[in-house]
Each structure stands twice: as structure tokens, then as C-alpha cells.
Structure 1
Amino acid sequence: MDDAPILDVVALSKKFGGVTAVQDVSLDVPRGGILSIIGPNGAGKTSLLNMISGFYKPDTGRIVLEGKNITHRKPSEVAQLGVARTFQNIALFSGLTVLDNLMLGRHVRMKAGVLSSVVYWGMAQKEDIAHREACEEIIEFLKLQDLRKLPTAALAYGLRKRVELGRALAVEPKVLLLDEPMGGMNQDEKEDMARYILDVNQERGVTVVLIEHDMGVVMDISDHVVVLDRGRRIAAGTPEKVQRDPKVIEAYLGTARSRSGA
């Protein structure tokens, strides 16, 4: 693992009206690792990912990818630079096949012009073949071969989550942002997804930033953990260190007490 962080998030803040979603959050993402961001509901986790991926613009702070400031880049530009993401709610095109959804993920890597793509000549044809080969390799990697021609609407929930992971991989990311990739899954589906995330990290060399509520999964697969509460970073370190931190225990137990009306 390279010592230099692949991604630096420095003092990010974001408000929506009078509500502060993220306040002065900094974190370093080690190259080649798995970093999990945890915290109670409303802690600012998804807002932080939305800023990193370009969907939200921070009010203050900066985001640096491999030494390049990407703070004010558009989402498509951030993707071209090597940051891909999945969403908390599945965002696939349900009427399209598994393969076609992955091909859509390749659009940021396509260089042929619109005219040549329309008439299907020369470079566009060669490029289309190369992109299809890349998508077929991902389909094989995620064991979706028998489903490649099915519309994603016909798939079980856990398989659709796997297709969404595949579409993000089609971007050929250096950094993969996963927003609750196991949300709504049963235990077997969670175990399958955890294995795929580990394989993406270890076999494909992709740095992973993960939001996840299942603490068992977080502690099993993460190299580093960052904890947010009410928009602020309250702890960071190894899984073992974080789960013993009094501030982290208080954040979760406090949430439980407030929900129970205590």
C-alpha cells in the first residue's frame, strides 16, 4: 500500500438552508485500502460522499485526488478522473439488460465522437467492441454470466445491487465510493457482497470508501474507520480502536436512547 493518500478531504462543510449536514470534516483515504465511514442516521455520511463525487459542491474546504484539486469538478469529470460510486437507492435503468447497464457505465471512457458513433464507423466500432469486452469481464468477475441479457427489473434485489457495483466498476475507478451497498440485503447476500468488495480491493487494486450500517461487516473488511456524528468527525482509526472509543459508543447509545424516548 502506497504511503501517500490517494484522496484528501480537507475541512469540508455543507449547509442546506439552516441545517448543517457536514461541518469541517477532514480525512485521508489511504491508497489501496478499504475505509469505512460510519455514524448514526443523519450524521452526514451520504452528503460527504456526494461532495467527493461532485454531486454537491462544498461551502468550504477542498477535495484532492492524487494531488489534483477536484472540489468544483462536475460529476462526469470526477468520474473521468477515476472516482466511481454506487447509491443508497438502486439507480439502474430497469428496462435495460445487465450488459447495457454496464455499458452505460463505460460512457466516461468512450472517446469516439457523436457522428462516428451514429454511423458506426472506424474508431467507434473498434471502441464499442473493446468496451463490450471490458463489460463482459466484469460480468464474469461478478458471476452474472447467466443474467447478462435479462432486464435488471427482473432480478432479485441482491443481484441488482451487484449489477450496480458492476456499473461502477465499468468506470475503471481508482477510488470506489459505496453508499450502503448491503442495505436491505439478507445475511447470505451481505456475505456475497462483502467478498466482492474485498476482491475488488485486493484483486483489482481499487481503493474503497464505504458507508455501511452493519458493524460486523465494517469491522471485518475495513482497514480504517471514520466516524461522523451530527456532521462532525468524532473518531478515526483502526476498527479495533474506533469501536472502543467512548465518543463512538456515546454517539450510538445516545441515538438508541433518543429513539426509545428515554
Structure 2
Amino acid sequence: MTRRHLSFTVGDDACLATLDEGPRPVGLLIVGGGNEIRSGPAGIQAALATRIAARGFPVFRYDRRGIGDSEGENRGYRGAGDDLATALAAFRTEAPSVERIVAYGNCDAASLLMLEGGGGADALALANPWTFEDDEAPETNPQTLRAHYRRRLKSGSAIKRVLRGEVKFGAVVKSLLAMLRPAPKPSGLVDDLRTGLARFEGPVSILIAGRDRTGQQFRGSWPKFDRRIAVCDDASHAFIEPKSLEWLEERLAKLLEE
């Protein structure tokens, strides 16, 4: 496997990218989320690219404008549509044997792909789409608390703590009352995500990290019986745990092999 460093231009700004080469005619575009550079938090996206390329699929990653090694102004995910479209075009130019591209985005990168109706990709893997109107997610919300207590009730050690009297019941009652609050009404952003995704006609997989409040918030605001949703119960937001990364790799490989 060979990893090439390259650049492409969005307007007057140079954006830096990498291409992990592979012989197969289907490629993976990894779209960076938040203000993370293309290697991802703790280098997880670089590791994911290595694993996917080892299966023979080329992988393209890039820093959008204003992030990492790329020039220009950081316009946030809502202003990154041109970056996405140009990255897709650059991928096709640099890997001309690629006939089909799966785009993967986590957090607001997933939201970008939804808002852009896929942005020109052929299939989408959307992890923990961002549905908060503000730039910061609240520390607690009913969905997060419900997921937390479901995990605790499955844990034998948590039940033993209750029986030994090690649990502060005042704090538990406070959390339970917060958990019983109705979920907030879906934001206008959620409506925009639905509208954008409805324009996309290719395969879609929605991947949720079970321990992530962003993913939990998405599930609380999205149709419950959407068969495209898959949940990795013990995963944190970036799927950094070894088993979570394996789970993510297998879900992406399934889309790439369709």
C-alpha cells in the first residue's frame, strides 16, 4: 500500500490531502468533522484509511479550508460544500480507475453530506450526525441519560453498587427526573438533514456510537424504525476503541463491496 500526499484548489485556496492507493474500483472518501485535521482524533481516521486500503480500496482524506494544512477561511461544516465537491473531483482525478465512491463522515461531516444530498458521492456512511443548532452539545439531555441508565442496568457491577449502598440516591433521583423530561422538539437543522438526505438515491448507512451524546441526540430526533441505522453499543464518538474500530471498518467494507 502506498500513501501519497497531494493538494487540490478550492477557489484560490490550496487544500492538502492524502490518497491511500488500492487496486479496487471503489474508493472511500473520509470527510473530516468538526475542526479536526484529516488524521482525525487520536489519528483514528489515518488508522481507518490504512485498514480500508489493506482491503484493496483506495482512500482519500483531506483538510477542508482553514483546517490543518489547508489555506483559507474555516467556514464551518455548513460552508464546506465546495470543499466536499472539489475533494470528490480530486479523488476521481488522482485515482482514475475508481468508478464508485463511498463518502464517510462523522458528526458535522455526516451532517454536511446530508445537507448536500451526498455531494456527488455514490453511497454514504453517516456516523453520529450533528443535530444541535448551537456549536456545542449540552452536557446532558434526556436521550443521553436514558442511554446511560440502559447501560448501567445491564451492568452487574452497577447493580452490586446499589445493593451495597454506594449509590447517592439524591443524584440518581435528580438524573431520573431529568431523564423523564420530554425530548426537545427536532431542530430546524433536523428538517434540513431530512430534506437533503431525501435527495440522495444511493445506499445509506447511519452508524451510531452507543456511548456518544451526539449520536443519542440524533436517534431521539430521527424516525425510530429507520432500517439504515446500526448501533455500536460500546463505542465512543470517534470509534477509537479497538472493537469499535473493527465494527466501523466492517460497516464501511459492506458499503464498499455492494
Tell me if TM exceeds 0.5. no
Which has the larger share of strand? 1
Q: Please report the TM-score for the alignment, with normalisation by the length of structure 1.
A: 0.30
Higher relative contact order (CA 8 A, sep 6+): 1
